Each structure stands twice: as structure tokens, then as C-alpha cells.
Amino acid sequence: MTKISERTCIICRKKHTKDELFRIVEKGDKYTFDEKMKSQKRGTYICRSQECVNRLSKHKKIKVEIDDLLKMLSLLKKDTKDYLKVLKAMKNSQELVFGVNMIFDEIEKIHFMIIAEDISEKNDNKLIRKANENNIHYIHYGSKIQLGEIFDKEEVNVIAIKNKRVARGLIG
Ligand SMILES: [Zn+2]
């Protein structure tokens, strides 16, 4: 018999499997979002729901960085599928760059990255390392084909946003 491990949401106290939860880990006197659930530190869990994330943002003891909260909310938003529409609407605005090489060339101008969920592990690691080095936020969203459609390309691994205000609008 397979044992399905469940965790309790720190906010609503309901039990869920891990794929229904966000994980955060302690970092100093704050908490940081462990998006890939790979941190060795002891995790605290929150439902992947707007309500629990909103309540988390007001929590007196568990302080999570605002950017991390926004990232969680943006991951929830992706269920509504409007992310691709937003990117599509922006495609001619000169604020978007796509492709690993082009992003590396303009890395100092980049504020947010949307990485395809089916990107190769090698490219994924490369991008995440670069993002962390440069303090750039990122999410994994959509497939290479879906991201490609925005630019009439067959496949796109990653899209980046150069404009800070636009990036904020997209994650906020
Ligand atoms: Zn909850």
C-alpha cells in the first residue's frame, strides 16, 4: 500500500497532499518561499489558495517577504490562464525578451522571468543560477510551445520582462 504523505496548512489547519500546498522555510527571522520544495530546512506549508496566502500575508509570527507572497499569488493566478494573454498583449512593447541567450545578453535589464515548465534541466539550472545571482524573480509557467506561440515561434524556453513596473504588474 502506498502511503500518501499529507501536511497541515499552517493557516487553516486542513490536511493536504504536498501538490496542493506551498512550502516556506525559515531564513533568519523571516520565511522564504521554497518553490521547488527542495530546501533541506524544515518546511512550513500553506494551501495553494488565495485565501490562505492572503491570510499568511497578515500573519503576526510568520513573516514572508512580499516578493515571495506575490510569487505564490502569481502561481495561483496561472490557473486562470490569463498569464499568456497578458504576455501576448505585451509582445510588441519592447519590454519582453525571449530565449536563454538573449536573456543572458540583457540580464542587467531584466526584472522577471517566465520559464517554461518543460524546459531542459540544464537550461533551467542555468537560468535559475543567473536569476539568483542577479536577484531576478521567476516562475515556471506554461509549456515551451505555449510560450513560443506568443512570438510565432515553435518553442520558447523562457520569456523575460525588462520593465520593472510591468514586471510588478504581472506578478502583483
Ligand atoms: Zn489553508
Residue 71, pLDDT score: 84
State the pLDDT at residue 58: 83
Tens of pLDDT along 78-121? 554 567 777 777 777 788 899 999 999 999 999 989 999 999 99
> Does residue 1 form part of some domain?
no
Whether residues 85 and 165 fall in one domain: yes
For the chain, what is the radius of gyration of the CA atoms? 17
123 CA from centroid of ligand 1 (Å): 33
CA 16, 142, 170, 80 dihedral sign is negative
The mean predicted confidence, pLDDT, of the chain is 87
> Is 39 a domain residue?
yes
pLDDT reading at 44 higher than 60: yes
**Gap from CA of 80 to ligand 1 centroid (Å):** 20
Same structural domain, 87 and 166: yes
| CA separation for the pair 104, 88 (Å, rounded) | 22
Q: What pLDDT does 113 receive?
A: 92
Structure confidence by residue, pLDDT tens digits, 116-154? 999 999 999 999 999 999 989 888 888 999 999 999 999
The band of 75, judged by pLDDT with boundaries at 50, 70 and 90, is: confident
pTM of the model: 0.55
| Residue 158 shares a structural domain with residue 112 | yes
Cα–chain-centroid distance for residue 164?
16
Q: What is the pLDDT of residue 134?
A: 93
Shared domain check, 133 and 93: yes
Give the distance (Å) from ligand 1 centre to CA of residue 18. Answer: 12
68 plus 85 within the same structural domain? no
59 C-alpha to center of ligand 1: Å? 13
Cα 54 to averaged position of ligand 1 atoms, centre (Å): 10
DSSP H helical ranges for the chain? 50-57, 66-77, 82-90, 100-105, 121-133, 144-150, 164-171
Residue 159 lies in a domain: yes
Ligand 1 geometric centre to CA of 12 (Å): 4
Question: Quick one: pLDDT at residue 3?
Answer: 65
Would you list the DSSP string of 56-69? HHT-SS--B-HHHH
Q: Distance, CA 53 to ligand 1 centroid (Å)?
A: 8
Ligand 1 center from residue 156 Cα (angstroms)? 35
pLDDT, position 167: 77
Residue 51 Cα, ligand 1 centroid: separation in angstroms? 8
State the pLDDT at residue 32: 94
Residue 123 lies in a domain: yes
pLDDT of residue 84: 76
Tell me how far the alpha carbon of residue 171 lies from the centroid of ligand 1, in angstroms.
21
Domain that holds residue 96: 81-171
Same domain? For 101 and 147 the reply is yes
The pLDDT of 34-54, averaged and rounded, is: 90
62 C-alpha to center of ligand 1: Å? 14
Residue 40: all three cell numbers together: 533541506
Closest to 22 measured CA to CA, from 49, 62, 58:
49
